[in-house]
């Protein structure tokens, strides 16, 4: 019918205007004589508006060549080429076991491992003897939480953590509950930060350990680690922090912050995967029960051969992070602000999850109202991003972190995490912002809820019927 309308307009005489009206019975034509001195008012027809949107929101013509852009720095970071250079000799010629004490092959590997231990210790202001090499932050968290609780379990049976911790900490606490321990899961404020008064009230004479992460892996908020450490020290309670997302990115000093145990990950600071570290304080001494048995390596706390190439990589990455922390921080802050400004200026109802001030800007978690996060991720197939929802792990439940900060379920489902790192460029940020704006607008055009909101309808006042 629209084609008929266009053909009629094309062949009509200048002094005639035909009005074409659609009726249930068909087409009815009526003509009226117009005065030639009156100019017709131009109005964009529905067909033209439809074609304009179709061209603008067309995704079939997108031809993606090469690999996607990478904006998922909280999941992992690329290996810094300088770290690879440091590792290569120990992947080829210097292949000795660092625990072999009877020949040169073992000695040279041991020297490399001890140098790496010093590099990690310098980054956090610790003594090299307090650094235990592990396979990553997950193992470090397991050793710290289970090890301390079990060692002191005959005297104290209470552990405190938060509802927004990493899964490996929460699961370790659940394992302790099955062993008879009492665990307090502290709630967080709507900005994602814990209430120190609640923390102080939760501490009891029976409390043996407090575990609170430094920087959250989903929303990027920074917890008041120094205040928690001071409180725990005054109550003679051990304090563990999962600093996988913080070490090498923000300044940390274990002595100034009164941290007793701290977990570190290699691949979060542009180092290799499969290696991490656990800081265990010596004065005042922290005792823990080893999680795995074996040859008694790493002060008897973590048995197993230390992989020299990976330890060297972690040490090199730690040294580079210490040297370039200030520059990296300024660059990431600049890119994060640029991305956030472009998105919020072009799109209404973009909500930042977590505290905007006490945060690590490299982790930017945004909710786009009335847009399903997974739909947006699928549309942004040329950018590697993460959804703040747990749907990516075959669950329809929204992220437990976003639920903990009180985010509405629809906003929790619409969240996207942008991870900015050392090697992210301005062009990548601008491209991501433009694509995100385009697809959010396209998805909202398809959303009946968005249309209702535009008409001024309060969705929360609607009582939806259930079928």
Residues annotated catalytic, as ranges: 391
The sign of the CA dihedral 219, 225, 227, 231 is positive
- Both tokens of 207, joined, read 């409390």
d(CA 208, CA 187): 19
d(CA 59, CA 79): 33
Rounded alpha-carbon distances, angstroms, from residue 465 to 195, 239, 289, 316, 397: 39, 50, 56, 60, 22
d(CA 252, CA 226): 10
User: 3-class secondary structure for 446-465?
Assistant: CCHHHHHHHCCCCHHHCCCC
* Helix/strand/coil percent split, the chain, to 5: 40, 15, 45
The sign of the CA dihedral 226, 229, 233, 234 is positive
Using DSSP bridges, classify how beta strands 276-280 and 261-265 pair: parallel, antiparallel or unpaired.
antiparallel
Helix (H) or strand (E) holding 340: helix 308-346
Are 338 and 176 a contacting pair, CB within 8 Å?
no
- Beta-carbon contacts of 102 under 8 Å, excluding residues fewer than 6 positions away, are none
């Amino acid at each position: 019918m629209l084609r008929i309308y266009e053909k009629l307009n094309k062949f009509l005489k200048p002094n005639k205007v035909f009005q074409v009206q659609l009726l249930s019975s068909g087409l009815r034509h009526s003509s009226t004589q117009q005065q030639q001195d009156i100019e017709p008012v131009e109005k964009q027809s529905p067909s033209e508006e439809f074609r304009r949107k179709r061209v603008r929101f067309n995704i079939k013509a997108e031809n993606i060549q090469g690999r996607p852009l990478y904006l998922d720095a909280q999941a992992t970071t690329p290996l810094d080429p300088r770290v690879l250079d440091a590792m290569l000799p120990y992947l080829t010629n210097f292949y000795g076991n660092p625990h072999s004490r009877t020949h040169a092959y073992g000695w040279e590997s041991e020297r490399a491992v001890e140098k790496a231990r010093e590099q990690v210790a310098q980054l956090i202001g610790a003594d090299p003897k307090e650094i235990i090499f592990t396979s990553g932050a997950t193992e470090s968290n397991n050793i710290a939480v289970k090890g301390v609780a079990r060692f002191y379990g005959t005297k104290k049976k209470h552990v405190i953590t938060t509802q927004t911790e990493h899964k490996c900490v929460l699961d370790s606490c659940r394992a302790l509950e099955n062993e008879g321990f009492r665990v307090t899961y502290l709630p967080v404020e709507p900005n994602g930060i814990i209430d120190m008064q609640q923390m102080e009230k939760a501490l009891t004479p029976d409390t043996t350990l407090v575990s609170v992460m430094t920087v959250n892996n989903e929303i990027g908020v920074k917890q008041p680690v120094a205040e928690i450490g001071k409180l725990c020290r005054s109550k003679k309670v051990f304090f563990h922090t999962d600093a996988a997302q913080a070490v090498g990115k923000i300044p940390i000093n274990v002595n100034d912050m009164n941290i007793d145990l701290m977990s570190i990950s290699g691949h979060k600071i542009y180092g290799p995967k499969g290696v991490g570290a656990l800081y265990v304080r010596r004065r005042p001494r922290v005792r823990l029960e080893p999680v795995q048995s074996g040859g008694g390596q790493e002060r008897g706390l973590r048995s197993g051969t230390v992989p020299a190439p990976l330890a060297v990589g972690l040490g090199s990455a730690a040294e580079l992070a210490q040297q370039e922390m200030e520059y990296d921080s300024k660059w990431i802050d600049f890119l994060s602000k640029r991305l956030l400004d472009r998105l919020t200026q072009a799109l209404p109802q973009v909500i930042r999850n977590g505290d905007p001030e006490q945060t690590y800007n490299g982790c930017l978690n945004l909710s786009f109202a009335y847009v399903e996060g997974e739909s947006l991720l699928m549309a942004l197939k040329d950018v590697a991003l993460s959804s703040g929802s747990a749907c990516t792990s075959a669950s329809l439940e929204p992220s437990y972190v976003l639920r903990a900060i009180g985010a509405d379920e629809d906003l929790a489902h619409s969240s996207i995490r942008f991870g900015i790192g050392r090697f992210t460029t301005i062009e990548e940020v601008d491209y991501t912002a433009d694509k995100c704006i385009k697809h959010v607008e396209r998805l909202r055009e398809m959303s009946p809820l968005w249309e209702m909101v535009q008409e001024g309808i309060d969705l929360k006042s609607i009582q939806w019927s259930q079928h």
